[in-house]
Amino acid sequence: MALRGRRVVLGVAGGIAAYKAVELCRRLVDAGAWVSPVLTEDATRFIGALTFSALASEPARTSLFGGPEPIPHTRLGQSADLVIVAPATAKLLGKYAAGISDDLLSATLLATRAPVLVAPAMHTEMWEHAAVQENLATLRRRGVHVVDPESGRLAGGDVGEGRLADPSRIVAAAEALLSRGRDLAGVRVLVTAGGTREAIDPVRFVGNRSSGKMGYAVAEVASGRGAVVTLVSTQSRPVSESINVVAVESAEDMHREVLARFGDVDVVVMAAAVADFRPKVIAGEKLKKREGVPEVVLEPTPDILGALGESKGAQLLVGFAAETERLREHAADKLARKHLDLIVANDVSAADAGFEVDTNRAVLLDSSGAVEETPLLSKVALAGVILDQVAARLGLPPEGHP
C-alpha cells in the first residue's frame, strides 16, 4: 500500500546476489512504486542493466557521466521517497560510511534526505569482519535502516550467514518505512528547542550550552511523519518550511508562547533547556565597568513543563532530563513531579551525548519505569525513537500497517 506512487531508487552493488535484485525490482513495481535502478559498475559484471531497464519504471543508470542529465545523483537523491540498496556489498557499505562518492550510487546515497534501506549480502567471513560491522553500526547510528542477511547457501557452495534477505522481507521493510512516514498525519505537535537566555542588561545574558539540535531533530522528524509542528525556539537554525517557528529568548517568553498554544495541540515535547534561574533585575542600560562589579541576584523562572502538567487535559507531555548522576532516579522523579507521560533521560556528562554534539544516548521512562534504552544514536534517529513511543501512546497504528 505505502509503496504505491512512491519514487524508489533501487541501488544494486556488485555481488553474486545482484541477480536477486531483479526479483526485488519486479516486486517493487508490482506494488505500485516508481522504480529507478542504479547499478554500480561491478554490478554490471553480474547482471545486465538492460534486465532492470526492461522491468523498472525508467532505464537503469550505471554512471555519473555520459547520460542525458548533467547531475543525475542530485536529481535522483532529491526526488526519491526511499533509497534501497540490495545487495549492499562490504565495499558499498564502507564507502557509504566513509562518505566516499566516486560513482552514481554512492553519490546518490550522499545526496538524498530520503530514508535509506540497505540489505547487505556477502560471504560470512566478510559479514563478520569488524570493519563491516563497524561500518554498519555507523550507518545505523545515522538512521540508515538495515535488513539483515539470512543464513543459507552462498556463492561457491559455502553455507553460512550473509545471504541476501528474501525480496519479500526487503519489500516489507520498505512498506513499513514508507507507511511510518505518515503515522503522525494531522497530529498537532509543539516542540521547544534551545537554551533560554536570561537578560542581565541589554547586551548580556545568562545562558546554557544547549544547541537546540535535539528539539530541531524532533520537529523535523515529526513534520516528516505528517505532524503539524510548531517549534518554539531560542535558536535560528534553518528548518523545513512546513514547520511553524515561534522565536523566543527567555524562559518567560517561552512560558507565554507555549501556554498560549497548549489548548490547540495533542503533544508537547519539551526539548528546550529552560534556565531555572534569571536575574531578578534587568538593567535598562548596559552596565558599565567603571561602576564596579555588579551583584546579579537570581530568582526562579516559571517551570513551563510543571505548569503544563498541572493544567493538562488529553495532551501527551514529553519531557527531557539532562543529568550528570543517578540518571533514572532523577528522571523518574521529574516524570512524577511534572505529571509527564514520557521522559527522555540522558547523561550529559558523557562526551558523545548531550549538549553541542550530534549524537545522544537515552533512557526513555514512563510511570511504569524504563521503557526503552537506546544505544548511541544520531539525534535524528533518537527523535524517531521518541516519536515511535508518542505514536504508540496516541494509539496510532504501529509502523508497517497503513
Catalytic residues: 208
What distance separates the 2 farthest-apart alpha carbons in the chain? 85
Contact between 320 and ligand CTP (CB under 6 A)?
yes
Q: Kindly write out the interface string for residues 295-314 of this chain, putting x where it contacts ligand CTP by CB under 6 A and - elsewhere.
A: ------x-xxx---------
Other CB atoms closer than 10 Å to residue 168's CB: what's the count? Answer: 11
Q: Which of the 8 DSSP states describes residue 61?
A: B
CB of 363 to ligand CTP, least distance (A): 14
Contact between 231 and ligand CTP (CB under 6 A)?
no
CB of 307 to ligand CTP, least distance (A): 8
- The C-alpha cell at 383 is 527523535
Strand, coil or helix: 39: strand
CB of 337 to ligand CTP, least distance (A): 7
Which candidate, 347, 335, 344, places its Cα nearest to that of 385? 344
Contact between 248 and ligand CTP (CB under 6 A)?
no
* Contact pick of 35, 84, 173, 270 for ligand CTP (by CB under 6 A): 270
Which candidate, 267, 357, 356, places its Cα nearest to that of 319? 267
Q: Which is nearer to ligand CTP, 25 or 275 (CB)?
A: 275
* Contact pick of 15, 37, 167, 319 for ligand CTP (by CB under 6 A): 319
Q: How far is CA 331 from CA 274, 283, 305, in A?
A: 16, 36, 14
* Contact pick of 83, 217, 272, 382 for ligand CTP (by CB under 6 A): 272
CB of 330 to ligand CTP, least distance (A): 6
Interactions with ligand CTP, residue window 322-351 (CB under 6 A): 322, 334
* Contact pick of 69, 128, 276, 310 for ligand CTP (by CB under 6 A): 276
Contact between 20 and ligand CTP (CB under 6 A)?
no
Angle at 84 between CA 80 and CA 86, to 5 degrees: 150
147 within 8 A of 116, measured Cβ to Cβ: no
Q: Cα(381)–Cα(256) distance, rounded to whole angstroms?
A: 30
* Contact pick of 92, 111, 187, 251 for ligand CTP (by CB under 6 A): 251
* Residue-wise burial string across 37-68, b where 16 or more C-beta atoms lie within 10 A, e elsewhere: bbbbebbbebbebebbeebbbeebbbebeeee
Q: Which is nearer to ligand CTP, 3 or 270 (CB)?
A: 270
CB of 89 to ligand CTP, least distance (A): 43
Burial class (CB in 10 A: 0-12, 13-18, 19+), 94: middle
Asked if the bond preceding 397 is cis, omega within 30° of 0, the reply is no
Contact between 216 and ligand CTP (CB under 6 A)?
no
Q: Which is nearer to ligand CTP, 190 or 251 (CB)?
A: 251
CB of 46 to ligand CTP, least distance (A): 52
**Site size toward ligand CTP, by CB under 6 A:** 14
* Residues making contact with ligand CTP (CB under 6 A): 251, 270, 272, 274, 276, 301, 303-305, 319-322, 334
